[in-house]
Every structure is written in C-alpha cells, then in structure tokens.
Amino acid sequence: MANRETGNVLARFNVGDRVRVKDLPNLFYSRTQMYVRGVSGVIASRTYQSLVPEDEAWNRDEAQPQQFYIVRFRQKDLWEEYPFDNDTLQTELPEGWLEPATD
C-alpha cells in the first residue's frame, strides 16, 4: 500500500525493453500467472515499487521492495495458433520475475 514511499530500488528495465517472464517454482503464493511464464513481451510502463506478493502474503515487511512493470504480450506468443495477429494482452509483473529476452 504505502510502498511507493519505501520504493527506492533501481529499476532495471525501461519502457520498450523486451523481457521474458522467468519460469520459477511456486512457493505457497504468487500472482505471476502460469500462462505468461517463459513468454517474452515488451515493457509497456514502469509502475510502482512494492513488496512482491510472495513476501507480502506473509507480512515479510522487512523484505526488499521491487519495481513493478506492465508488460505487453502478443496473444500469438501466449497461445499457440491464436488466429488474430494484432491482439495483445497486458499484465503487471515484479522485476524479480523478469529477465532480458534473448529471442
């Protein structure tokens, strides 16, 4: 909630950067949806800094906040045989789930 104030970590990615969502194991709680894992997209905007859900869910207030981003994916990259070229999907992800895309 008030993590905007505590957020002072250096953001690693810029708008326009191509990133890939890491496919990390689930430990109890996450808000990183399975359907975006391992898929590459583009940073659409840099949003706020906050505890990640994996820490916040357990009141780990001492954990390091992370930069969050809205990432835009092509539907064709998310779903095999998606028939419409132009369609996209956006969702918000913490930096720890993202790495530079190599594809």
- Which residues contribute to the site for other proteins (CB under 8 A)? 1-2, 4, 31, 33, 35, 47-48, 50, 53, 68, 70, 72, 75, 78-79, 84-94
Distance CA 36, CA 79 (A): 10
Smallest distance, Å, CB 72 to other proteins?
Answer: 8
Residues in a beta bridge with 71: 43, 91
Residue whose CB is less far from other proteins, 19 or 93: 93
Residue whose CB is less far from other proteins, 56 or 99: 56
Smallest distance, Å, CB 14 to other proteins?
Answer: 19
CA contacts within 13 A on the Cβ side of 19: 30
Smallest distance, Å, CB 35 to other proteins?
Answer: 7
> Positive or negative CA dihedral for 29, 27, 99, 39?
negative
Is there a contact between 94 and 63 (Cβ–Cβ < 8 Å)?
Answer: no
Residue whose CB is less far from other proteins, 20 or 52: 52
Smallest distance, Å, CB 103 to other proteins?
Answer: 21
Is there a contact between 101 and 63 (Cβ–Cβ < 8 Å)?
Answer: no
Residue whose CB is less far from other proteins, 11 or 70: 70
Among candidates 44, 20, 42, 43, which has minimal Cα distance to 32?
20
